[in-house]
Amino acid sequence: MLRAATIAFTWVALFGCQPTSSMLPATDPPPGAGDAADLASAPTQSDGGTDSSTDLGGGVKGGGPDLTPNQKAVAEAMTSIWENDTPILAYAYAENINDGRGYTSGRAGFCTGTGDAIQVIDCYDKLRSSANGNVMAKYMPALTTINNKYNSTGQDQGDTSLLDAAGNWIKDWGASYSTTTTKADFKKCQDQISDLLYYTPAMQAATAVGLKTALARAALYDMWINQGDGALVTKTNSALGVKGMIGVGNAVTEDEWLQKFIELRRDLLAGDSTWKTSVDRVAGYEKARRRADWDLAKPVDSAVKAAQCWPGGGYLDSGYSSFVINPDGTSAATTTTASCQ
């Protein structure tokens, strides 16, 4: 288990740092978060590390096992489609999408204004110095200033002027992954911070609720990347009258729980001025649910629109490209006609 954070990073409580997110004040770090300085040596779940417990309220806690490597690869490919319009994890991606969160970068949309990009760079600094090819090291003073200012005042989350004065963030981020000598370290830090902030808490919450299927766990992981915490897990439990775990004193099946969770997330996205253009991402999980692909053992076809799953809801077409993701995580573009079946 990773030890408690020693750096006062900025944290986003409800809305994660993504192209479809809106800006909210930061609060305390999510459960299980550790010091990025330790990540080079600390085990992650994918390395067989030990889970800490996530508190979901009411004394409900849990830590759980991973998805299998193939299931995790499928889950990550699905989320990557919704995040970067490709099932291939976009480690080199970086741009300012002008969402008030600074530069959005990498496989999980780490942002310079919300406390996750700084953790990637902090981790990277521990593995490689500027003298040894780390072109991102020069941004750490600016990231720290941005972070501290937001923590103390709640202002300038999206300001990139200090970063721009230090160099070309977009170019340097991309080069850090595309350069042979630095690629492995830069990738490792993105993977570890993504696991730390999003994957691990999602798996812990799934275990706490009693979700055993790969599909349900993948849906929670995508929500954590997009929304940033387990508020929808708690809301789903409340809507279904679940106390503790499903199936333990609760007449609720995993299928029923996941259906309600997807519907609540659909409504959350559709009701947000920014997120309303990304409702199709939850339709991807609804399609897999209707196909009963619980173990993600069938090819996942992302050709689906929310309007097809829930006709009459007025849901916008998100414009995502469509892919088939194979059970081993490999993928290819698909020309399949979009449907929710």
Choice among 35, 51, 99, 191 that is catalytic: 99
Please give the distance of CA 282 from its chain centroid, rounded to a whole number.
Answer: 14
DSSP line for 271-321: TSTTGGGGTHHHHHHHHHHHTT-TTS-S-EE----HHHHSTTS-PPP----
Is 83 a residue of the active site? yes
Nearest Cα neighbor of 111 from 19, 201, 44 is: 19
- Contact indicator for 232, 263 with CB cutoff of 8 Å: no
Is 280 a residue of the active site? no
Choice among 51, 66, 83, 185 that is catalytic: 83
Match 């800490």 to its residue by tokens: 52
AA letter at 117: A
Q: Under the phi-then-psi rule, with left for phi > 0, alpha for psi from -120 to 50, and beta for the rest, what region is 106?
A: left
With residue 324 as reference, give the H or E element that holds it: strand 323-325
Nearest Cα neighbor of 303 from 328, 330, 331 is: 331
Nearest Cα neighbor of 281 from 261, 305, 297 is: 305
Distance CA(24)–CA(73), nearest Å, equals 30
Would you give the DSSP letter of residue 29? P
Please list, in sequence order, all residues whose beta carbon lies within 8 angstroms of the beta carbon of residue 157, skipping any fewer than 6 positions away.
Answer: 10, 23, 100, 101, 102, 113, 114, 146, 150
Q: Under the phi-then-psi rule, with left for phi > 0, alpha for psi from -120 to 50, and beta for the rest, what region is 100?
A: left
Report CA-CA distances (Å) from 187 to 42, 83, 127, 194.
Answer: 16, 17, 11, 11
Nearest Cα neighbor of 156 from 102, 90, 227 is: 102
Q: Which amino acids are annotated catalytic?
A: 83, 99
